[in-house]
Every structure is written in C-alpha cells, then in structure tokens.
Chains A and B, each alone.
Chain A
C-alpha cells in the first residue's frame, strides 16, 4: 500500500467556473485550483460587463447621467439613482423637499426588499432549496407592479431627479403599498418556515465562509455582509440621508460571521424595511416633490416652460449645457444600497459635466473577498459563498 502511495502522482486540478454558470449570478468567472473536492486557491475574473460608465458620465450633463446609474445594480436601480442624486445635490448645495425625501425613502426600501427577494430566491435555489424561489418572486412581482404604477418602468426606473423626484405619488399607490406592508410580514414567516429548520439548509450555511469582524473591516466589506460579522455599520444610521432620521428602525447584527449569520441579517432587514415603509406612508407630508429654489440646477416643469420666458431659457440652457453654476470642488456621498455601501465621488471643475465620477461599488469589493471565503472549503460551498456576498456583476464591472 505504501509503495503505491509513493508512486502515485498527485496534482491539483484547475477548473474554470463561469462566466456562463447559473450560480455565479451574472458573468463572473472563477478559476478554482482543487485538491480533490477542496478548494486550494480561487481567482475571480471580472470585467465581462464593463461598459465604461465612469468614462461615459464624463461626457454627459449631470441630469443625463441618471439613466446610466440604473444600469449598475439593475435589480435595485432606485437606490443607485437616489445615491447619485444625493451626491449631485450635495455638490450643488441644494436639498430635496420633505415630501420628495419621504418618497425616496419609500422607494429605496421597496428596492431593498425586491433586491433581497432576488437574493433569498437565488441563494436558496443554488444551495438546493427550490421552493422558496417561487414564493419570493410572487412578492417581487407585486413590488415591480407598484414601481410600474409609479413611474412606468419596472427595472430601470430613473425615477429620482436631482432636487427631488420626477412625479408625485398617487393616493392609490400609497394605499396598495400599505396593503403590501400589511401582508408582507406573513410572507416573510412563510419563507422562514420553508428553510429555517431545514436540516440541509443549516448544514450548508452554518460555519461556511466565516469572516471575523476585524478582518471584514480590513477588507472593506459593507452592508449585510459586514453586519453578519457583528459590525454595527449602517450608513442610514451613521450618515442619515433623506427621511431616515425621522423613522424608527433597528440595524440587525449577526454574531458568527458565516453564511447563516448573513442570511439571518437580511431576513431581519426585510422586517425593518417593511417598518420604514409603513412609517413613511403614515408620516408623509404634503408639498412639492421637486425643489423650487434652485432654478439653475433643476429642470422647470413643462407647463411653466410653455408659460413664462425665464423658465424656457433655464430649460434650454440646462438641456444644452448642463447646470449653469456648478461649483468647483469634490464630494463623496455614500448611501446604503441593498448590497452595501454605494459611494459616489464626484469631482467638478465648474462646468456642467462631472470632471470625474467614481462609483464605489459594493459588489466590486465583495467579489474581491471571494478567495478568502472559499479557500479550504468544498466546491459546493463556493456556490454558497457567491450567494451570501450578494453581488451583481453589472455593478461590479460598471
């Protein structure tokens, strides 16, 4: 027996996983070095979806770059739009009216729920729990219908504007959204009964992809991926924007820093988002939805353009040249997107176009931590790890 062992040649096997693989959630390619079933090394390759959004935005006016931000994290485009608009507003030193802030908070949380729904559906599907996918997409459909009623689009919405939102919400929209928040907690319990005590689910998630708090901070993780390790870092609490300082919610934290802890965090975030939406609907004030005190920054409404001269001139100059009085300076504004910290760093040189727009994409950072999570685990756990960091490659590659 010993003799055979000495003469056997062992070699690590290199396997290319992706870019076309159902569990890589987009076009992510991993090159795995395997020792039997164990992952020895893992190298991610990204960039298949690189469209040069940062370069493109340098050629566009501040307004016309909004649809570009839809195409980054395309399953929660509302939060991208809001993050971008907040950064530009901060640069210009303007603020959206209160009603618009509440509306933005509502749509951001709707986007968070719909993004987490995709996450739980596909993550569970990857690990082998098929049923929950169909249950969760039922609620997502409801939310997308509401988006459609609000702005006519279901995915690439471009609904928020610099200085507010495009149009006011209708009574019917708020009513049906309130009905959704009545029903949704029951639906979350439904998801949990499907997998919470499922022995296979627990085996596949507990103790997999553990990352301790200090290391997670050093890697630059954010969102639920960081909070699963017990770090209390939520931008909605630390740098409140829009109406987040006027509503009451908690930041769920994990302890063990594994796939299971992150799963629990996101499930709890469902409930908190639901709470935020309810409070916003109850508190929403009346008023305009686009700030009236910055005519040189925001587009005037169409009826004003047709009625008075000055609005017509502003409209013309804004469309052709971009904002008139962009101050020189630079700004970094981060928002809590469903995936993590989405930051916009805008450098302005005083013209109507951004001189440089940098997007700090959470998925990009989270994809870089994959080798750290996968090393030493089985090939099947690679799939669990890709699911748990919740990446969207459109945002990762930009």
Chain B
C-alpha cells in the first residue's frame, strides 16, 4: 500500500491520536500524540496490513523556539514483507519530557533510545537500562539541544583541555634550567 494510504488507515483506526499527516517528496510522516503510542506501535507491528517489523531509526529533534512542544521523537518504520516505509513523529514538551519506550516491540530500539536520552534528555518510560551511551556517565547537559554551545559547556575563553596544558606548563616552569 502507498504510505499515504497507510497513514489514512491509522487515522481511521485512531482518530483521536493522529495530529497531522505530512508529505514531503513522497515520504509520509504521521504526527501522533504521545499518550497511547505503545498501543499504536504494537498495532502497526502486528497488523497484517502494516507489518512494520523493522525499526530503521529512532532519533530526537529539538525545535527550540520554533514549536510549542520543544522536542520530537522520530521513528522510521519499515516492513520487510510489504516493503513500505512510514515515519512517525511524536511531539514531546520540555515540561513533561517523558515518552513510552518501544523496546518491548523492537528490541533494537534499546540503544537508539539511550542515545536520544543522552543527547536530548528525553526519558523513555519502561526502558530496561536508561543510561548515557556516547557521552561519559558523569556528563552534565544534553549536547544536541539547540541551546547547548557547540564548543562545549565552558566555551568562554580557551578550550578546557588547552587550559589544562597551560596550567601544567606553568607548573613545570619551576624545573626550567636557569643557566
């Protein structure tokens, strides 16, 4: 089935949950409310018309100052059998930065959700092991947020590592050969 037909079918089944259907260059995105997404994803995974059994990708996007609900979690789903793709977008507000985990449906979502948590601070309810993954465990802040400085948290003046080198060279000056 065409992806736009698929999206319409979801709207028929869950009229309350679908916010919008977008189409850009033949790729259809379905914007859903976050409350019932485990049910909807379970339905999309198992229903013989959809059979979206392959989670291609899961990521977050930060729309700071552009939209009312700041974040969006984007799922790319694909069906091995029917060979169709559907993009699902779930807006998440900053004040209630929690969304249900889909690891019970696609186990491969595990690391993607951890990365999304690591980079945006979006929590996934029901995730078995929600820890930072790419950044160190004691890192503060969420690097891919739009208000996070590109050069890092202490971007005023020199880079932290370089400051360390300067401090060390100052310290070692006392060993210098005075002649």
Contacts and interface: CB of A to CB of B under 8 A. Distances in A.
The answer to whether A binds B is yes
Nearest to B83: A238
A220 B66 contact: no
Nearest to A231: B80
Given A55-B143, A334-B56, A90 B61 contact: no
Given A331-B24, A347-B61, A46 B108 contact: no
A93 interface: yes
A285 interface: no
A238 B84 CA distance: 10
Nearest to A343: B57
Contact of A368 (B27, B85, B110, B144): B110
A349 to B, nearest CB: 7
Interface residues of A, number: 41
Contacts, number: 90
A368 B80 CA distance: 21
Q: Is the interface of B mostly helix, strand, loop or mixed?
A: mixed
Contacts of B148: 55
Given A220-B55, A343-B76, A90 B25 contact: yes
Interface residues of B, number: 37
Interface in A318-347: 329-332, 334, 341, 343, 345, 347
B134 A220 contact: no
A233 interface: yes
A56 interface: yes
Q: Is chain A's interface secondary structure helix, strand, loop, or mixed overall? A: mixed
A397 B53 contact: no
Nearest to A43: B129
Interface in B105-122: 106-112, 115, 119
Contacts of B111: 364-365, 367-368
Given A332-B27, A397-B134, 20 more contacts: A46-B134, A50-B135, A55-B148, A58-B150, A59-B150, A218-B106, A218-B108, A329-B24, A330-B29, A332-B57, A332-B76, A332-B85, A341-B56, A343-B56, A343-B57, A345-B59, A356-B62, A358-B61, A360-B57, A368-B111
12 contacts: A47-B133, A47-B135, A59-B150, A93-B25, A221-B108, A329-B24, A345-B57, A355-B61, A356-B62, A367-B111, A368-B108, A397-B134
Interface of B: 24-25, 27, 29, 53-57, 59, 61-62, 66, 74, 76, 80, 83, 85, 87, 106-112, 115, 119, 132-136, 143-144, 148, 150
